[in-house]
């Protein structure tokens, strides 16, 4: 979908638009912050360009069109070769038109394209002399940039010394990954500073900072390699003949992070259709990436095509940026709501002035916990940067502090539980009602009875409310003590529905331990983690006997999570005792109790050896698409249970650690990523045959 242009009606509106765009460019390229988000800026620039095309005699000399960085920044270190920006397209139709224009310019169809992620960072040129990093320069106005060599040594992927003693310039993007951004804001606020609004602003500000009392890590990915005036003649000649994909391979061999080594590596494509397919693949993976992207860069790969096409004053004619829908927008924080979850956790939620992001209207965003609000220094009335990608829950990155008016108000934290009025346990980052699960008993019981937990058919939300209001159930174990007479006494409970519900409750007693553990709703665990814990320890007695050190041996449980899981299991001991007394199963079928380990190791080798005969032993399996055949009626959670019963580990995302991908009908980005990584693919029928002994 093409990004619509801002409507400019007359010369006065045009002049104001030019002023706004130049100010926004100066703020964005200078410090990484702006009063306009990317989408608003793109709309404004398209509006300016359309006005100027219709009124060429009224173009203002200060117009940002046709200028690198909107003409808003300057530099004092000359570039040996102009460091240009990129023109944009926003739809398949615009991209196809661009390829046709490029073909006319070079006299033939482009033989091969290179397709790379458009990294959302700050463009820099890294100059190496004799293999040693000597200078780091920003893009600036394209002709000259700012010397930021003081940042050398703080940027991952940009080594102090190359693998070969060559004299070259590597051009690329300095950015902060999601993890680096979180760390940066923790450090910055600890030193009394305002949190960064987004990763790009954090990278831009950090790259230029010279006298900070702390250092923040950043990451570099190269997208260009070119000779310098002192480059050895033979090497310079060879670089000039290499295709872009070959240049990236050479830069990688030198030891540089490049776009070819990202989580969505640059690839070559021979046709427009292949390029557009790759654009969609990258867009689908966007939410899972450890860094921000705002589009996809498509380049004519061959050096001969690039040389024939040439460059304009602002951008090369042989490359284009295919912009993706904005995932970050600026809007106002109106209110903070405090909601109580099924385990008694008191969670804040931001109420926002409605804003459209990536095709969805966003009115709420997650705030995690009270410490998150304090950490980000959020205030009611703040203009905030809101991030949403794919199906990820929208979140507030930070306030846009330079837009504050002084009318913003502090956010009031609750002094008592907003649901039941009890006291609040504030000893951990996530606050909790002192009544715990009993504060929200209906939610806790409804969750426990759900399909992926105890699967008690007929025990929906309405029925749970009846049981709680009648005083028949005060905790999960009470469900198993219900009598026929008690249920018949409830409204709309006849003999048939009563007998069916009692049968479902009786069947729930035999569910595997992993389901029982999940039904308890231990904080820090979910369906997958409950399965891992149950398979690791085999019995509830073993789980309850485990200390934090033993709990850490379960895959995915680290030093921070283990103590809280152990503590909560101790808190749940009376309830677990009641469940066991009611006859609820407390063992995991097929699991073997772990042997004590005294070698300081993880103990995993013992379990692996015991499970060596299982068809998926040691394998990490991802399921994607619609299952067919013997697997057709299995939910995704049941598929994950099947994988782990057969000795494997289920995962929701494809990575280099993935062993096998079960690709059903409609499998999309995960299948594509598996193919790119060379991971084994199998059909639902083939997988069913592999695990036939574990299918009911």
Q: Is 546 inside a domain boundary?
A: no
Residue 600: band (very low, low, confident or very high) from pLDDT cuts 50, 70, 90: very low
Name the catalytic one among 67, 118, 299, 329: 118
Q: What is the pLDDT of residue 31?
A: 54
Q: What is the pLDDT of residue 131?
A: 95
Determine the Cα–Cα distance for residues 382 and 411; give it in Å rounded to an integer.
Answer: 11
Q: Is 455 inside a domain boundary?
A: yes
Q: What is the pLDDT of residue 391?
A: 57
Q: What is the pLDDT of residue 601?
A: 42
Same domain as 389, residue 443: no
Q: Tell me, yes or no, if 118 is annotated catalytic.
A: yes
C-beta of residue 138 within 8 angstroms of C-beta of residue 83: no
How far is residue 143 from each of residues 31, 75, 85, 125, 670, measured CA to CA in Å?
19, 8, 11, 12, 42
Which run of H or E residues covers position 227? strand 218-227
Q: What is the pLDDT of residue 611?
A: 44
> Tokens standing for 58?
């009224």
C-beta of residue 649 within 8 angstroms of C-beta of residue 611: no
Q: What is the pLDDT of residue 466?
A: 92
298, 323, 348 — which closes off a domain?
Answer: 323
Helix 561-571 with 573-581: angle, nearest 10 deg: 50
pLDDT in tens, 248-276: 999 999 999 999 888 899 999 999 999 99
* Torsion sign over Cα 218, 222, 228, 233: positive
C-beta of residue 433 within 8 angstroms of C-beta of residue 347: no
Determine the Cα–Cα distance for residues 631 and 686; give it in Å rounded to an integer.
Answer: 11
**Does position 399 have pLDDT exceeding 90, yes or no?**
no
Determine the Cα–Cα distance for residues 173 and 124; give it in Å rounded to an integer.
Answer: 6
Q: Specify the CATH number for the domain of residue 350.
A: 2.40.50.140
Determine the Cα–Cα distance for residues 599 and 596; give it in Å rounded to an integer.
Answer: 9
What is residue 330's three-state secondary structure? strand
Same domain as 221, residue 85: yes
477, 508, 539 — which closes off a domain?
Answer: 508
Q: What is the pLDDT of residue 56?
A: 84
> Tokens standing for 538?
């085999």
Q: Is 3 inside a domain boundary?
A: no
Determine the Cα–Cα distance for residues 29 and 142; give it in Å rounded to an integer.
Answer: 12
Can you tell me the mean pLDDT for 427-435? Answer: 87
Q: What is the pLDDT of residue 596?
A: 52
C-beta of residue 121 within 8 angstroms of C-beta of residue 174: yes
User: Which burial class, exposed, middle or buried, applies to 554 when counting CB atoms under 10 A from its CB (0-12, 13-18, 19+)?
Assistant: buried
How many CA atoms lie less than 13 Å away from 347 in the CB half-sphere? Answer: 12
**Does position 513 have pLDDT exceeding 60, yes or no?**
yes
Same domain as 202, residue 98: yes
C-beta of residue 572 within 8 angstroms of C-beta of residue 524: no
Same domain as 195, residue 84: yes
Determine the Cα–Cα distance for residues 305 and 348; give it in Å rounded to an integer.
Answer: 55
Q: Which residue has the higher pLDDT, 353 or 555?
A: 353
C-beta of residue 117 within 8 angstroms of C-beta of residue 110: no
Q: Which residue has the higher pLDDT, 174 or 668?
A: 174
Q: Report the domain count for the chain.
A: 5
Q: Is 152 inside a domain boundary?
A: yes
Same domain as 172, residue 49: no
Determine the Cα–Cα distance for residues 571 and 434; give it in Å rounded to an integer.
Answer: 12
Same domain as 351, residue 281: no
**Does position 159 have pLDDT exceeding 90, yes or no?**
yes
3-class SS string, 335-376: EEEEEECCCCEEEEEEEEEEEEECCEEEEEEECCCHHHHHHH
Number of Cβ atoms within 10 Å of the Cβ of 280: 14
Same domain as 343, residue 318: no
C-beta of residue 399 within 8 angstroms of C-beta of residue 197: yes
17: containing domain:
11-71
Q: 0.85 cut: is pTM over it?
A: no
Q: What is the pLDDT of residue 606?
A: 42
Same domain as 225, residue 169: yes
Q: Specify the CATH number for the domain of residue 141.
A: 3.30.470.30
In terms of average pLDDT, the best of 73-77, 96-100, 322-326, 359-363 is: 96-100
* Torsion sign over Cα 257, 259, 265, 271: negative
Place of tokens 């003949």: 241
Q: Is 288 inside a domain boundary?
A: yes
3-class SS string, 478-507: HHHHCCHHHHHCCCCCCHHHHHHHHHHHHH
Number of Cβ atoms within 10 Å of the Cβ of 570: 10
Number of Cβ atoms within 10 Å of the Cβ of 198: 22
Same domain as 231, residue 200: yes
Determine the Cα–Cα distance for residues 116 and 295; give it in Å rounded to an integer.
Answer: 9
| Least confident span in 17-31, 47-61, 92-106 | 17-31
Can you point out the beta strands (E) in 249-406?
267-269, 293-300, 319-323, 328-340, 346-357, 360-366, 379-380, 383-387, 395-399
Q: What is the pLDDT of residue 156?
A: 94
Same domain as 267, residue 146: yes
Determine the Cα–Cα distance for residues 546 and 555; give it in Å rounded to an integer.
Answer: 15
**Does position 1 have pLDDT exceeding 60, yes or no?**
no
pLDDT in tens, 333-391: 999 999 988 788 899 999 999 988 867 788 999 888 898 898 888 999 998 888 876 65
Q: What is the pLDDT of residue 511?
A: 93
**Does position 604 have pLDDT exceeding 70, yes or no?**
no
Same domain as 188, residue 98: yes
**Does position 178 have pLDDT exceeding 70, yes or no?**
yes
β 660-663/620-624 pair status: parallel
**Does position 470 have pLDDT exceeding 50, yes or no?**
yes
Determine the Cα–Cα distance for residues 86 and 317; give it in Å rounded to an integer.
Answer: 9
Q: Taking all residues of the chain, what is their mean pLDDT, rounded to a whole number?
A: 87
Same domain as 64, residue 103: no
| Least confident span in 27-31, 435-439, 496-500 | 27-31
Task: At 390, give phi and psi (nearest 5°).
Answer: 60, -130
Q: What is the pLDDT of residue 395?
A: 85
C-beta of residue 467 within 8 angstroms of C-beta of residue 457: no
Residue 3: band (very low, low, confident or very high) from pLDDT cuts 50, 70, 90: low
Please list, in sequence order, all residues whose beta carbon lies within 8 angstroms of the beta carbon of residue 156, skipping any fewer than 6 positions away. Answer: 217, 218, 219, 220, 257
Residue 478: closest CA among 545, 575, 593, 547: 575
Number of Cβ atoms within 10 Å of the Cβ of 4: 11
β 680-682/649-651 pair status: unpaired
Q: Specify the CATH number for the domain of residue 464.
A: 1.10.150.20
Can you tell me the mean pLDDT for 280-285? Answer: 88
**Does position 72 have pLDDT exceeding 60, yes or no?**
no
Q: What is the pLDDT of residue 593?
A: 65
Place of tokens 């693919």: 681
Q: What is the pLDDT of residue 98?
A: 96
284, 302, 323 — which closes off a domain?
Answer: 323
């Amino acid at each position: 979908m093409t990004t619509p242009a801002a409507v400019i009606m007359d010369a006065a509106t045009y002049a104001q638009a030019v002023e706004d765009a130049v100010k926004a460019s100066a703020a964005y390229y200078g410090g990484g912050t702006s009063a306009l988000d990317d989408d608003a800026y793109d709309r404004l620039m398209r509006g300016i360009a359309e006005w100027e095309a219709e009124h060429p005699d009224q173009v203002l000399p200060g117009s940002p069109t046709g200028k690198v960085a909107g003409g808003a920044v300057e530099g004092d270190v000359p570039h040996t070769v102009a460091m240009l920006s990129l023109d944009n397209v926003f739809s398949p139709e615009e991209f196809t038109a661009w390829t046709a224009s490029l073909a006319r310019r070079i006299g033939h169809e482009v033989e091969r394209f290179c397709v790379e992620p458009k990294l959302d960072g700050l463009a820099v040129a890294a100059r190496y002399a004799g293999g040693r990093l000597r200078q780091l320069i920003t893009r600036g106005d394209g002709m000259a940039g700012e010397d930021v060599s003081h940042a050398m040594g703080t940027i991952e992927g940009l080594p102090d010394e190359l693998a070969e003693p060559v004299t070259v310039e590597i051009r690329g993007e300095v950015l902060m990954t999601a993890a680096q951004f979180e760390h940066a804001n923790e450090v910055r606020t600890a030193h009394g500073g305002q949190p960064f609004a987004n990763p790009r602003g954090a990278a831009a500000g950090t790259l230029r900072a010279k006298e900070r009392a702390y250092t923040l890590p950043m990451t570099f990915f190269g997208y260009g390699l070119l000779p310098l005036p002192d480059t050895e003649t033979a090497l310079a000649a060879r670089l000039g003949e290499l295709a872009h994909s070959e240049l990236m391979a050479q830069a990688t061999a030198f030891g540089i992070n490049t776009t070819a080594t990202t989580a969505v590596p640059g690839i070559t494509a021979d046709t427009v259709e292949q390029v557009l397919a790759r654009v969609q693949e990258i867009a689908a993976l966007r939410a899972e990436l450890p860094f921000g992207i705002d589009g996809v860069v498509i380049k004519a790969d061959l050096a001969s095509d690039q040389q024939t096409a040439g460059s304009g004053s602002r951008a090369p004619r042989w490359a284009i940026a295919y912009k993706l829908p904005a995932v970050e927008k600026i809007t106002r924080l109106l209110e903070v709501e405090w909601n109580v979850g099924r385990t008694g956790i008191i969670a804040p939620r931001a109420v926002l002035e409605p804003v459209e992001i990536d095709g969805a209207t966003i009115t709420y965003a997650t705030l995690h916990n009270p410490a998150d609000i304090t950490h980000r220094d959020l205030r009611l009335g703040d203009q905030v940067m809101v991030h949403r990608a794919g199906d990820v829950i929208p979140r507030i990155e930070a306030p846009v502090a330079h837009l504050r008016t002084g009318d913003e108000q502090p956010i009031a934290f609750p002094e008592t539980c907003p649901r039941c009025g009890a006291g609040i346990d504030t000893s951990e980052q996530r606050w909790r009602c002192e009544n715990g699960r009993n504060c929200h008993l209906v939610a806790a019981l409804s969750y426990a009875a759900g399909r992926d937990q105890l699967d008690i058919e007929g025990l929906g939300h309405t029925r749970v409310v009846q049981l709680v209001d009648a005083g028949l159930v005060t905790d999960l174990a009470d469900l198993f003590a219900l009598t026929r007479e008690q249920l018949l006494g409830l409204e709309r409970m006849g003999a048939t529905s009563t007998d069916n519900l009692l049968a479902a409750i009786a069947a729930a007693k035999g569910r595997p331990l992993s389901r029982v553990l999940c039904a308890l709703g231990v904080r820090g665990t979910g369906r997958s983690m409950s399965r891992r814990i149950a398979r690791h320890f085999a019995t509830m007695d073993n789980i309850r006997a485990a200390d934090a050190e033993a709990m850490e041996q379960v895959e995915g449980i680290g030093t921070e999570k283990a103590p809280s899981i152990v503590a909560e299991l101790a808190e749940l001991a009376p309830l677990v005792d009641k469940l066991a007394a009611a006859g609820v199963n407390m063992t995991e079928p097929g699991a073997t109790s772990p042997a004590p380990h005294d070698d300081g190791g993880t103990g995993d080798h013992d379990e692996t050896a015991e499970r060596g005969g299982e068809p998926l032993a040691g394998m990490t399996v991802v399921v994607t698409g619609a299952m067919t055949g013997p697997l057709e009626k299995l939910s995704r959670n049941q598929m994950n249970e099947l994988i782990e019963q057969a000795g494997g580990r289920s995962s929701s995302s494809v990575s280099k650690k993935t062993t096998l991908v079960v690709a059903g009908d409609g499998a999309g980005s995960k299948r594509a990523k598996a193919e790119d990584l060379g991971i084994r693919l199998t059909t639902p029928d083939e997988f069913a045959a592999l695990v036939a002994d574990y299918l009911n």
